[in-house]
């Protein structure tokens, strides 16, 4: 075991998560929402304590809690914090209950959306018999008498250009028996044609087209409706609109597509200690989450309307939540109970409903999910960068997938189920899995999300996986879902694949 791995294991044993290399204080490189910079959170006495308990006794009990390798055992926390599969299931159900309305968009604006209805063919494909190859359209058995330049006579307008029948020529005249005419790939087959003879299979000698071998009847002719008939269902609703889907839709006659509108998302970055540019100095740190979350949400299917930095201003946060027109608001930091952690108080003041208030996962356990009075959802992320990524993939990702019609199976169930011993939501749409190529220490009670990279047939755990770090996730292809207790080398683990991997 390396020194870093030993430090990681010791940190886990002390209930602090993976801390080697953690930035000394600081938000989005520090501990907003996971604990204030410079030590433990300050604020009111912990829930479950006696407010009339003498300060010295309370301090003594806090000291004993700090020495407990699993942290203080607050029964209210046990109720408040959902296990990881249940939290993902709750987020998926929330997204499925608020799907944006379908909209019709031009083909050049449809990329990246999902189909709001099945894609049907508006025409036969192909719409008429066409040539599959460059060559000659022939009628009957050969040899054939060429029409046009091949026989030295002026070409007939009814049989196309001096080069024969080209793609786009409309309704060529019937081809008489025993005759041939040059034809291009994609050109309309003239009536009377029995086959297309490829250019390399024939030659004109003595003013007759002669074939190396007689073509079979119908050779190299694409018959009308070979791919589909008008009215056929081509793709189901919910299919992502890819470049290939755009091509199919255009070929099938569509100018606009009915798609699911992307959920509108707004990012609110909290914390007075954050710098928007430059080198960290004077006790302040760079905002790492503001530049990261917008593109990440867009990769998950959202339309990001704004990223705003509000600092530690309770009034500004309340106003932003009250006035938002977004379907999803994502906040960073401020989800704990410190003196300037304003997310919970703002939600109470608004009358929002907490759907998930803490998750038994490391890093990122102070994450939350709420429904605002407007019907929009709020995902509150911890301020530590990797903890925020954990919250994004635990709550925002399943919510957005379900809202856009691509939700996992949890959205269709009344409650979460768990695969045996895995922490994996059971059902017909499981997470992908892979073999671990290195041991991962686990938390005694919580799921752990660890950056990994694909390496051959397995995944290799990455270093720099502390809650305040982004170095590991920047080189990762997925987060491994490590169940409580850890996972040895060779164990199978489920994966949260990153959108761009």
Q: What is the pLDDT of residues 449-489, one digit of tens each?
A: 999 999 998 999 999 988 989 999 999 999 999 999 999 99
Residue that the structure tokens 């091509």 belong to: 247
Q: Residue 429's pLDDT is what?
A: 45
pLDDT at residue 250 greater than cutoff 50: yes
Out of 54-58, 264-268, 339-343, 388-392, least confident range: 54-58
pLDDT at residue 419 greater than cutoff 50: no
- Distance from C-alpha of 173 to C-alpha of 160, rounded to nearest angstrom: 9
Out of 225-229, 269-273, 490-494, least confident range: 269-273
Q: Residue 58's pLDDT is what?
A: 36
pLDDT at residue 418 greater than cutoff 60: no
| 238-250 average pLDDT score | 96
| 287-306 average pLDDT score | 94
Out of 44-53, 147-156, 280-289, 485-494, least confident range: 44-53
For residue 56, give the 3-state DSSP assignment: helix
pLDDT at residue 3 greater than cutoff 60: no
pLDDT: is 191 or 336 the higher one? 191
pLDDT at residue 415 greater than cutoff 60: no
What is the average pLDDT score of the chain? Answer: 81
pLDDT at residue 438 greater than cutoff 80: yes
pLDDT: is 15 or 204 the higher one? 204
- Distance from C-alpha of 80 to C-alpha of 218, rounded to nearest angstrom: 71
Distant-in-sequence, close-in-space partners of 63: CB < 8 Å, separation ≥ 6: none
Question: For residue 21, what pLDDT band results from cuts at 50, 70 and 90?
Answer: very low
Question: For residue 108, what pLDDT band results from cuts at 50, 70 and 90?
Answer: very high
pLDDT: is 56 or 192 the higher one? 192
Residue 403 near residue 393, CB atoms below 8 Å: no
Closest CA to 127 of 173, 189, 195, 220: 189
pLDDT at residue 279 greater than cutoff 60: yes
Q: Residue 406's pLDDT is what?
A: 73
Q: What distances in angstroms separate CA 25 from CA 29, 62, 105, 191, one per listed residue?
A: 8, 22, 47, 80
Closest CA to 134 of 197, 214, 226: 197
Out of 23-37, 182-196, 252-266, least confident range: 23-37
Q: Residue 161's pLDDT is what?
A: 53
What is the model's pTM? 0.71
| 359-385 average pLDDT score | 95
- Distance from C-alpha of 361 to C-alpha of 366, rounded to nearest angstrom: 9
| 333-348 average pLDDT score | 91
The b-or-e profile of 138-163 (16+ CB within 10 A means b, else e) is bbeebbbebbbebeeeebeeebbeee
Distant-in-sequence, close-in-space partners of 419: CB < 8 Å, separation ≥ 6: 425, 426, 430
Q: Residue 28's pLDDT is what?
A: 53
Residue 128 near residue 136, CB atoms below 8 Å: no
Q: What percent of the chain has pLDDT over 90?
A: 64
- Distance from C-alpha of 461 to C-alpha of 9, rounded to nearest angstrom: 14
| 347-351 average pLDDT score | 96
pLDDT at residue 442 greater than cutoff 50: yes
Question: For residue 170, what pLDDT band results from cuts at 50, 70 and 90?
Answer: confident
pLDDT at residue 8 greater than cutoff 60: no
- Distance from C-alpha of 403 to C-alpha of 392, rounded to nearest angstrom: 15
| 358-367 average pLDDT score | 95
Question: For residue 159, what pLDDT band results from cuts at 50, 70 and 90?
Answer: low
């Amino acid at each position: 075991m390396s020194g870093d791995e030993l430090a990681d294991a010791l940190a886990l044993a002390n209930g602090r998560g993976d801390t080697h290399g953690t930035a000394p204080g600081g938000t989005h490189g520090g501990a907003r929402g996971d604990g204030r910079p410079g030590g433990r959170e300050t604020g009111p006495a912990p829930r479950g304590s006696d407010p009339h308990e003498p300060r010295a006794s309370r301090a003594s009990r806090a000291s004993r809690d700090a020495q407990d390798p699993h942290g203080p055992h607050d029964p209210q926390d046990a109720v408040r914090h959902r296990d990881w599969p249940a939290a993902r299931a709750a987020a998926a159900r929330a997204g499925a209950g608020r799907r944006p309305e379908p909209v019709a968009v031009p083909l050049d604006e449809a990329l990246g959306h999902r189909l709001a209805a099945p894609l049907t063919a508006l025409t036969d494909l192909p719409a008429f018999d066409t040539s599959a190859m460059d060559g000659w359209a022939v009628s009957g058995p050969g040899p054939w008498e060429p029409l046009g330049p091949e026989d030295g006579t002026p070409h007939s307008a009814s049989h196309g250009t001096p080069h024969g029948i080209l793609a786009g020529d409309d309704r060529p005249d019937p081809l008489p028996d025993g005759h041939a005419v040059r034809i291009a790939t994609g050109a309309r087959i003239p009536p009377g044609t029995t086959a297309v003879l490829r250019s390399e299979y024939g030659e004109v000698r003595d003013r007759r087209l002669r074939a190396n071998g007689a073509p079979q009847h119908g050779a190299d002719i694409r018959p009308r409706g070979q791919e589909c008939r008008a009215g056929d269902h081509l793709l189901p609703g919910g299919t992502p609109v890819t470049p290939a889907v755009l091509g199919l839709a255009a070929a099938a006659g569509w100018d606009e597509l009915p798609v699911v509108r992307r959920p509108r998302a707004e990012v609110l970055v909290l914390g007075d200690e954050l710098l928007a540019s430059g080198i960290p100095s004077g006790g302040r740190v760079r905002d790492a989450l503001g530049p990261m979350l917008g593109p990440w949400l867009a990769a998950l299917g959202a339309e990001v309307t704004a990223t705003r930095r509000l600092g530690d201003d309770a009034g500004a946060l309340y106003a932003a939540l009250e006035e938002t027109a977004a379907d999803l608001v994502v906040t960073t930091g401020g989800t704990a109970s410190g003196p300037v952690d304003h997310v919970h108080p703002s939600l109470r003041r608004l009358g929002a409903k907490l759907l998930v208030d803490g998750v038994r996962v490391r890093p990122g356990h102070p994450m939350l999910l709420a429904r605002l009075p407007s019907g929009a959802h709020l995902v509150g992320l911890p301020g530590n960068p990797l903890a925020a990524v954990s919250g994004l993939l635990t709550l925002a990702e399943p919510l957005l997938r379900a809202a856009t019609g691509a939700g996992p199976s949890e959205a269709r169930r009344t409650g979460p189920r768990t695969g045996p011993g895995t922490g994996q939501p059971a059902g017909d749409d499981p997470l992908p899995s892979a073999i671990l190529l290195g041991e991962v220490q686990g938390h005694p009670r919580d799921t752990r999300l660890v950056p990994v990279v694909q390496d051959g047939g397995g995944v290799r755990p990455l270093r720099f996986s502390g809650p305040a770090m982004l170095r590991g996730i920047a080189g990762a292809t997925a987060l491994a879902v490590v169940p409580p207790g850890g996972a040895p080398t060779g164990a199978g683990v489920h994966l949260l694949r990153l959108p761009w991997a």
